[in-house]
Amino acid sequence: MRAVDIIAKKRDNILLSDEELKGFLESYLSGETTDYQMSAFLMAVYLNGLSEHELKTLTQTMRDSGELIKLNGVERFLIDKHSTGGVGDKTSIALAPLLSVFGIGTAKMSGKGLGHTGGTLDKFEAIPGFKFPATEEDMVKTIEHTGIGIMGQTENVVPLDKKLYALRDVTATVSSYPLIASSIMSKKLAVRSDGIILDVKVGDGAFMKNLADAQKLANIMRGIGEMFGRKVHIVLSGMEQPLGDGIGNGLEVYEAIESLKGNGPKDFEKLITTITGIALVQKGDVSSIEEGVKLAEEKLHTGEAVKALRDFVEDCGGDPSYIENPEKFLTATYTLDVKAEQDGYIASLMAEKVGNSAMLLGAGRETKEDEIDHAVGIVLKKKVGDKVSKGDTLAIMHYNQKNQKLEDAIALLSGAYGYSDSLVKTPEVILDIQ
């Protein structure tokens, strides 16, 4: 069938057969179908959606368009945790070694950050000498030794998704639920795992701005996982304000290490222990998430997870002394206290503004070509629900250059805070588990 006939059927909301949809997608990957034809098809999907069967075919075709990471030889129970991204989201850095303590391996691909959300690759690269496993064989060795399996995304895994995403970005079709869900899940399904845990962020600093939309996306992604026989849990977590206190690559690694010692921010500890509890349920070690969370909380005070992180960093060529002495991450030339402008309670802390402030300091990228400064960022001292007096320190900026961007960053961070005369409830970090 011609490309134009496939587009017309989807335009008219007529179901496509497996052969029609798969053939159309493969012809696009090969270059036979043009960008403008695929653009028309994506808009038709945006307007009309996909049936469950079409969604499975799209996801499977994307998954099978490149290499599969099979991790042959790994004996551990494997978890693939994915986050939709948010400000201060250093979850993988602390979660992977915590899971390792329970004999659970991590199997995931991570990317670099763009905009106000940071990438896991950028955070780990704050450690001198650190390089992620370059091959599947190297990743297998690292998982077997440390339990931690994280590698950078490669061009050979789900290439169809990469090509489609680039087109979605310029055709106003990024926000289509089936296209988001299939994009995420095709990458999850391309990597061998025994369980998948998706951390869907909700709020000002996240792609999904409200709980209802996030639940809709979560249901679609979980459904895709079940189509392919995977155990899938969804955590909906709050991103109205940043996660934890540190925003910026080195500062976030520092905070993750402190959290593995039981000294981290309570909201961040809540998230990593909850996800660990879910992983223990998926593995079959406990019968309830609550039981798993209790075990995870106990392990935060033993130091075992810090050792696992140290071993992973050393295996990847990084300087392990940064894990043993995390103060080494605090290397910015200057610090500056941002002060409260009035008395009261912190009523809001807009995560996106905080993230953009850190990006202006050099902690993030405005374009893919930008270099980032691993030392700079923001440490929050007051968050929603805290009582403040005028002149109290709200946050500390770590920076290396005094310029106009610094002044803009200060204004942006100050403007992220909202005040109330009356007591404000501290927001929950775990909004729902599915």
Using alpha carbons only, how large is the chain's radius of gyration in Å?
A: 22
Beta-carbon contacts of residue 307 (< 8 Å; ≥ 6 apart): none
Which amino acid is present at 102? F
Which amino acid is present at 140? V
Task: Please identify which residue in the block is written with the tokens 């789900």.
Answer: 158
Give the three-state DSSP class for 191: strand
426 DSSP 8-state letter:
P
**Active-site pick, 168, 188, 222, 270:** 168
Return d(Cα 148, Cα 165) in angstroms, integer. 28
380 DSSP 8-state letter:
E
183 in catalytic set? yes
Return d(Cα 242, Cα 346) in angstroms, integer. 14
CA dihedral 9, 14, 20, 21 (to 10 degrees): 100
**Active-site pick, 80, 89, 122, 161:** 161
398 in catalytic set? no
**Active-site pick, 81, 82, 116, 222:** 82
Beta-carbon contacts of residue 185 (< 8 Å; ≥ 6 apart): 59, 221, 224, 225
Q: C-alpha angle with apex 186: 181 to 191, nearest 5 degrees?
A: 135
Which amino acid is present at 194? D
The 3 state secondary structure assigned to 12-47 is: CCCCCCHHHHHHHHHHHHHCCCCHHHHHHHHHHHHH
CA dihedral 212, 213, 219, 224 (to 10 degrees): 180
- Burial letters 212-241, b for 16+ CB under 10 A, else e: eebbebbebbbebbebeebbbbbbbbbbbb
187 in catalytic set? yes
161 in catalytic set? yes
Task: Please identify which residue in the block is written with the tokens 């300091």.
Answer: 361
168 in catalytic set? yes
Return d(Cα 97, Cα 147) in angstroms, integer. 7
Residues forming the active site: 82, 161, 168, 183, 187
